[in-house]
Structure formats: structure tokens, C-alpha cells
Amino acid sequence: MAGSAILLAGLLAGAVGSPAGAAPSAVQQMSVTEAPAAPQPAVTGFAQTAAHPFGTNVHVFDPGMPVAEIQATVDAIAAQQVDDEMGSNRYSLLFKPGTYGTAEEPLIVQVGYSTEVAGLGASPTDVIINGHVDVYNRCLTADNCIALNNFWRSLSNLTINVTGLEGCRSSANFWAASQASPMRRVNITGGNLSLMDYCTAGPQYASGGFISDSKTGAVINGSQQQYFVRDSSIGNWSNGVWNQVFSGVDGAPAQSFPNPPYTTLDSTPISREKPYLTLDSAGQYSVFVPAVRTESAGTTWENGPTAGRSLPLSDFYVATPADSAKTINSQLARGKNLLLTPGVYGIDESIEVKRANTVVLGLGMATLTAVNGAVPLTVADVPGVDIAAVTVDAGTVNSPALMRLGKAANGEGGGAANSGMHSDPANPTTLHDVFFRIGGPHVGKASVSLEVNSDNVLLDHIWAWRADHGNGVGWTTNTGRNGVIINGDNVTATGLFVEHYQEYNMIWNGENGRTVFFQNELPYDAPNQAAWQHDGVLGWAGYKVADSVKTHELWGGGSYVYNNVDPTIHATRGFEVPVTPGVKLHSLLTVNLGAGTLDHVINDTGAPVSTDAVGIPSYVPSFP
């Protein structure tokens, strides 16, 4: 829930409850004023394999290492990162092909902030961890344990054979995380996957989430308010809360929105899995780039090798935070792809991706921070570019955008293509696990977080966040007008999270747009109604389709309101679209989180949500 300051009562009402007991019965307040811990030096001196080119914040483990040695390293990193929400340290924990841990000596990995855990095999079955890879609740006080702020971490490309631990913790592998915490290419055997941590004190709330290309047994949704699962295989799904969406998932529950609130698509219209780092038997690193699939369902790897292309590491410039944007651009101009090692990069001029099929891959939540109002990353109007696992932070001077694909109407942006090519529906430029922040670690300002001007683009898991807590937060401090603006045609979004922007959070101007799963919170901090209205309309919608658009489709969208500065504020609607046969929206809802009022779900349709029914959605199954 992007760190909502309200913890909703009765969230699990009517759902499959937690094994630890019934849902909490009272609204509890979460403190969001604590200052982030000061940055600490990188954890070094523990298990490390032979030389690799990725820097000291990447730890590459070998199955021949003693389990205790690996355990010491992952424990030290977890101890540093588990509460370091806004810190500057970044880590990647990479496992060579092989088996780690045993039933007698399991490997237990707790994943904190800004930490990536990934296998280096060609298949998730090439790396097996006998043990756990867990995310637990944070207990802000003894009786306020939640996962609502568990952001910015990832798990990918390995098998977890669930074993070890005792008592409640032995019952599942726990991934109690919220936004910006993807699980990709994960194979879970030997136990359940729980997306809720039911082993601590309450209220145990969570606000995720994203899973793709994974295989699990039983999945415990528990308190997860909303969740999106794409192109995977699951044993079963325990329950829904507000908005659970499944696209191309074998074993998914049947379509039943709103009771329970399951939205189920047999297949995903278009998909492309995130590129990932691999290590072969000769000790050579490569980046594998999966192929595009249409009408996809199930994993890419269960029935044979994943289709795609493998690029040797020599095709990449391996950047460090010491590199300037000028240095990076010179390497891109020479035809290199880009691998960003963990850290925070100050970007004072745009990193310009101009060549078709370029891959930009971040490790360990690599972060680009705008300096002096720069647009940190731009992409020319070319096909096949993959931007993956990159976080972009606004800086103290306003940026017109934090990422721009294609040229803006005023000519700014992606630069001239050097390939003579333009967008290609069979080879879309794709963003995977790209996250934006305005405020949080520090003061940030950006007019728009993501601007898409190119046609035929795929957005596969985006979180655009104007911070509601942390450092540099306030209506006139961390300013952000719009989260995502889509001007291109034939753009598809699979997993779109956009929160707290000051005008329309999401604007769709292009034709033939498609969104599978949308989650939104309107801004908490508007000072009064006069500051948050336009053209005689109270507030701004979370999802806006331009009046001129003739074709658009959305499946599974929620917009939430929580005006905690002035609870008398109203927003007229969560979704605003033209009424025309080609614009179709399915499975919509609005929710009140404890302050303010949302008068309608979409246009003038749908019952209001107010403080009279906190946490009770207003549903519109289809529109028009």
C-alpha cells in the first residue's frame, strides 16, 4: 500500500484467515516519521568466490562453500538491510548452479531492502536452495507488525525446497512484501508459499505484489490487498481481499469478480520475461534475453529451455556508480549493452539508448538519481530495447520526466535513432521491474515519472511512487504532477502500480492501450479541496483515458483514497474514460483507507466510498 498510514480493520473479513488467528478488529496507526538509518559500509570479508566483475556489493556463492560461511554473509547483509528502507546500500546475492543447504543444515536467507537474490542457471531448477528465502513483517512496535512498507527487493531464477526452521516459520516460504518486490522464475517445492507473514503480532497487512514465470504449490494470499500473477503455475490460491488478478496462470481460480474479487484471463495478450544473468559450466557470464510471447500462459521453462537469445558479458559495459552519464553514453554509442552494478548513480545528463535491441540490466536495485533536473534515461523510437531492474529517483531540481521513451511532442527526449528503425509490434521495447520515486530517500521533484511516446511498448511491472513517507515529503516539497503518461499507440501494461501523484496519476492518450492489473492510491496530502480540483471537478482521477481515445481495455483496476491532511476532501471518481464502444474496463473498484471520500468508481458510475465503510470496496464489474 505504499506505506499507507492507515491499517485497515477487518481486512481479512470473509477471507481465509491467517493460521495465527483471526484478523485484527481495530484500526491501528503506523508511525512513518522514523528517520532512515545512516548508510553503512558494504558488508565484506565473508564468503566470496573467485573474481567477478560486478563489484563488492555483489556476492557470488558457490555450492562448494560451507553452508555456515554463506549463512554468515547473508545474515550480515540482512541485519544491515532489513530496516534500511531509504538507505543507499544495494546488494545482489547470486548463486552459481548447484545445491545449497540440506535438511540437516538448511540455508535461510532473509531478504531486506534493496537486495536481490537470484540464481545464475539457465533454468530455475539449476539452483536449489534447501531452506528458505523469506521476507517477514517489520514490527514498528510490539503490536504493529506489517509488510505494508516492504518494498524494493527481488527473488528470481532458482528453486526453493522449503525445509528447516521451527514452529510457525516451518509452515511456508514467506514472501511478505508489498510493491516493487517481484518474484520471477521461482520454483517452490516441499511447502507452501505465503505472501503474508502470519507468525508475528498483528495486524500483518501487506500490499503487493507481482509474480511471473514461476511454479508453486499452494499460495496463501492472506492479507494481501491486491496481487498480480502472470504466466505461472500454482497449486491453488487461498483467498482474495480486494483485487487479485491472474493472467495466463495454470491453476488460477476461476473468474468471479467481485465475489471473490478474482479477475482471471486465460492468457496474457503479449509478454516478455525479464533478462537475467547466467553462468555456464566454463565459468562464462552471459545475459539471457527471453523472447516475446503472445497469448502466453504458464512458465517459459517447465517444458524445455526458455526461448530467446544469450548475450556474452563482453557485449556489455559493466558500469559502477563512479561512472558518469557521459562515460556510459560513450559505451552505448560503441554498441555496448549496459549492466548497472549495485549502487546509486548520480545522473546529470540523460543516459541515451539509441540502438535497437539494447539491453539495460540492473543488479541489486541499481538506482539512477536525477541531478540538476536531468531526465535520467531516454530511449529512442526503436524496437526491442529491454530496460530491466532499474530504480529511478527524482532529484532536488525538478525533472520534466524521469524516463522517456521516444521523443516528446516538443522534440525533447529519446534522441535520434541510429538504426533507421522504429517500433515493431513483434519486438516491443519493454520495461521490466522499473520503479520510480519522488521523495523518500531525499527531496525529489519531477513533473512526470514515466513518459511513453513510442508505439508498441510493453510495461511489465512498474511502480511509480510519489512518496507518502520518508525524507523530503510534503505537498509543496516532493512535487509530482503525473505518474505515467502514455502517448504511444499499442502500448500494453502488465502490472501497473501508480501512487500519490498530484493530478491525474495515470494518463492514457494513445490508441489500443491495454492494462492487465492497475493499483493506485490518490495523494494523501492535498492541503484542502481548493488545492486539489480542476475544471469544476473535485480531485483528480487515478486512471484517465483521454476523451479522444477510441480503443482501450483494462482488466482488474483499483483506486484508493486517504486524504489524511484534510479528511473533508472529495474526489469525484477513481477512473475517468470516454464513453465509447471501444473503451472497455473490467473488474474495477475503489476503497476508502480511512479519510476523504471517493464519490464514484468510474465516471458517474459506482457507489461512493467514505469513512462510513473503511476498507469496504465499491465494485463495478464492467464498464460501460
3-class DSSP state of 24: coil
Find out whether the peptide bond into 624 is cis, omega within 30 degrees of 0.
yes
The three three-digit cell numbers of residue 481, written as one number: 504532477
3-class DSSP state of 313: helix
The three three-digit cell numbers of residue 73, written as one number: 554473509
CA 561, CA 434: separation in Å to the nearest integer?
A: 24
CA 145, CA 30: separation in Å to the nearest integer?
A: 9
Residue of 306, 225, 313 lying closest to 272 (CA atoms): 306
CA 569, CA 462: separation in Å to the nearest integer?
A: 28
Q: Which residues contact 371 (CB under 8 A, 6 or more apart)?
A: 346, 347, 348, 395, 397
**Amino acid at residue number 384:** G
CA distances from 341 to 3, 360, 389, 442, 588 (A): 27, 11, 11, 22, 39
CA 189, CA 581: separation in Å to the nearest integer?
A: 46
Residue 146, strand partner residues? 138
Find out whether the peptide bond into 64 is cis, omega within 30 degrees of 0.
no
Rg (CA), the chain: 22
Residue of 272, 405, 310 lying closest to 351 (CA atoms): 405
Check the CA dihedral 488-490-496-499 and report its sign: positive
CA 534, CA 540: separation in Å to the nearest integer?
A: 8
Selected catalytic residue, list 116, 352, 451, 521 = 521
Residue 379, strand partner residues? 353, 405
521 is catalytic: yes
**Amino acid at residue number 328:** I
CA 118, CA 393: separation in Å to the nearest integer?
A: 24
Number of helical H runs and strand E runs in the chain: 2, 49
CA 421, CA 40: separation in Å to the nearest integer?
A: 45
Q: Which residues contact 125 (CB under 8 A, 6 or more apart)?
A: 159, 187, 301
Residues with active-site annotation: 521
